Amino acid sequence: MAAGIDDISVYIPKLYLDAGDYALMRGVDATKLRDGLGVNQMAMVDSNQDPACLAANACLRIMQSNKLSPDDIGRLYVSTESSFDESKAMNSYVIGMLEQVYGQGSFEHCGGVETKFACVSGSYALYDNANWIRAGEAEGMNALVVVSDIAKYDKGSSGEMTQGAGAIAMLLNDEPRLLAFDPKVTATSIKDEYDFYRPFGKETPIVHGQYSNLLYLIQVRNALEIYKKKAAASGIISVGEGRSVLDYIDHLNMHLPYAKMGKKALAYLVRHEWRSLPRWKGVIDKVGMPEPVPKDPRGTIESILGDAEFMESDREFQKRFTRTDEFQEVYESKLASSLVASSMVGNLYTASLYLGFRSTIEFEFQKGADLEGQRFGFGSYGSGSSAMIFSGVIQPGYVQLARDMNLEAEIGPRKRLSADQYEMIHGNQLSPEESILSSSKEFVLVDVNTTPESRGQRRYVFNE
Ligand code: COA
């Protein structure tokens, strides 16, 4: 039985921090954000929004645009790393909000959990729900997988320039209009690591930024090795002599903590894949230097990052490599469109990979590309750490959906935050009733209970 993504909806909060304004506030070079990281604007939540509101708003959009009723939904999963309760799952809050619109008890039949594994958990949720459909358990119903996060870092930290917020809802079923998952290829890699984590009670993560960058690359490469074996064994891709598995993937979507990380990851994977192929010699000639090797090639991530000479020459090699026509061709044809939305919105943690997927469809379609039958690869990464590689094929029904995609219109008119407003939002100085924007047709947070017997209970309303 087929399983895949039938439709996708996006909810991005309307406040944003401009990269130039941020650079002025913190005294950093705006070019570092715009060119070095690919960050132009970072979406910010208002004081009456939390990750559950974002998720519920994304769900409502997909249900309304597809004229779905709660009876059409058999499972509702929310994947997040912005959880605010150690026990009560975020999907229960989302169901509570949706029932304000669809009626008390209307989702009673709907199973689901909140899933957690930093930015990769949405991919595990998609996989599990696709298998629920493949197993024939869905009985004609759909699954909703919602990825929702607020990427917030400490003031003044290097992560602060890679923030963002938003939610994406994906409708899964056995006759997907958008993308059918390739069966028996999903590949994972996992290792106990502390590259990025958020201990109980801490609002922002503890981050070892450069370590997490390199670990992301290594983990994704490990998962790609497993994907290659599974794709060959299942007969989905048989790699010809002198070719790479990447030659058979038309578009690649990578986890995007910031847009430029996608390009970094693509370059890393392409280097890894091409190194043993006949084409590499011609590429090296163009690069004009041999590929650097660390002093201890089997060393730890710390020893590689500490090898200053290697890091310096590898940066130079990468710069020259990414300018070659060979890499540029791969970058433009397989990845560039997926980065557009990320640079407008910033980091969405679990949702960033799927915003990239949405971005590819919208902006490739706008370019006039025919995506039907094309294979999309997904490179998912979550700190802590695990990577997942999987793929799928674009279905004929995608045209009908792509025609209506317009991210800018879907976000709606945005408000650029002043430096003072940003500091107040970041410092949680505003209560829900002091929100900067007044919204309509959206779920918002009304209050969080502070009494000893009901501490933490949240109230939401749907603003007419
Ligand atoms: N003009 C143009 N580019 C500039 C620049 C300037 N003035 N200053 C720096 N850059 C470039 C750097 O060369 C680098 O590009 P490269 O990686 O292609 O060499 C890029 O901007 C980032 O600079 P860097 O010095 O590496 O940034 P940083 O260490 O201050 O912060 C992160 C970057 C990603 C480590 C930081 O934002 C972070 O910790 N983020 C959160 C964790 C994260 O996202 N991890 C990713 C994996 S999940």
Give, using CA atoms, the residue closest to atom 9 of ligand 1. 32
Report CA 211 to chain centroid distance, whole Å. Answer: 19
Compute, in angstroms, the gap from residue 36 CA to the centroid of ligand 1.
6
Q: Measured from the CA of 196, which atom of ligand 1 is nearest?
A: 42
- Residue closest via CA to ligand 1's atom 21 equals 36
Beta pairing, strands 251-254 & 458-463: unpaired
Q: Measured in angstroms, how far is the CA atom of residue 361 from the centroid of ligand 1? A: 27
- Cβ < 6 A, ligand 1 pocket: 29, 31-32, 35-37, 158-159, 161-162, 196, 207, 209-210, 212-213, 216, 257, 261, 315, 381, 383
Report yes or no: 119 and 125 within 8 Å, Cβ to Cβ: no
For residues 376 and 394, the answer to whether their CB atoms sit within 8 Å is yes
Q: Which of these, 58, 50, 118, 45, lies nearest to 88 by C-alpha position?
A: 50
In contact, 40 and 19? CB cutoff 8 Å: yes
Given the CA of residue 216, which atom of ligand 1 is nearest to it?
47
Closest ligand 1 atom to 383 CA? 48
pLDDT of residue 337: 98
DSSP code string of 301-339: HHHHHH-HHHHHHHHHHHHHHHTSHHHHHHIIIIIHHHH
- Dist. CA 191–CA 99, nearest whole Å: 39
| Segments of the chain with pLDDT less than 50 | none
47: CB partners within 8 A, 6+ apart: 425, 428, 430, 431, 432, 434, 435, 436
Question: How far away, in angstroms, is 366 Cα from ligand 1 center?
Answer: 30
CA of 203 to the centre of ligand 1 (A): 23
In 3D, which of 32, 215, 210, 248 has the Cα closest to residue 120? 215
Amino acid at 60: L
> Nearest 10 degrees: CA dihedral of 404, 352, 153, 28?
-80
Atom number of ligand 1 nearest to Cα 118:
48
Beta-ladder partners of 170? 8, 145
Question: Measured between alpha carbons, how far is 144 from 62 in angstroms, rounded to an integer?
Answer: 9
46 Rama sector, left if φ>0, alpha if ψ -120 to 50, beta otherwise: beta
| Ligand 1 center to 161 CA (angstroms) | 9
Output the pLDDT for position 423: 98
Pick from 234, 102, 223, 119: nearest CA to 168: 119
* 193: number of Cβ within 10 Å: 17
Dist. CA 385–CA 223, nearest whole Å: 12
**Which one of 3.40.47.10, 1.10.3720.10, 3.40.50.720, 3.10.20.90 gives the CATH number of domain 3-463?**
3.40.47.10
Ligand 1, atom 15: nearest CA belongs to which residue? 36
Q: Are 179 and 373 spatial neighbours (Cβ–Cβ below 8 Å)?
A: no
Which residue's alpha carbon is at the smallest distance from atom 5 of ligand 1?
32
Angstrom CA distances, 109 to 63, 115, 242, stand at 16, 19, 52
Ligand 1 probe mutation, 26, 37, 260, most atoms within 8 A of CB: 37
Closest CA to 379 of 253, 293, 231: 253
Can you give the length of the chain in residues?
Answer: 464
Q: Decide: 135 and 99 in contact? Cβ < 8 Å.
A: no
Give which of 208, 204, 178 is closest to 8, Cα–Cα. Answer: 178
The pLDDT of residue 285 = 98
Please report the pLDDT score of residue 1 as a whole number. 85
Question: 37 alpha carbon to ligand 1 midpoint, in Å?
Answer: 6
Tell me the CA–centroid distance for residue 33 and ligand 1, in Å.
8
Whose C-alpha lies nearest to ligand 1, atom 27?
A: 158
- Atom 8 (ligand 1) nearest CA: 32
Atom 20 (ligand 1) nearest CA: 36
- pLDDT confidence of residue 170: 99
3-state secondary structure of 167: strand
Bridge pairing between strands 15-18 and 458-463: unpaired
Please tell me the distance between residue 159's alpha carbon and the centre of ligand 1 in angstroms: 9
Residues 6+ apart with CB under 8 A from 279: 242, 326
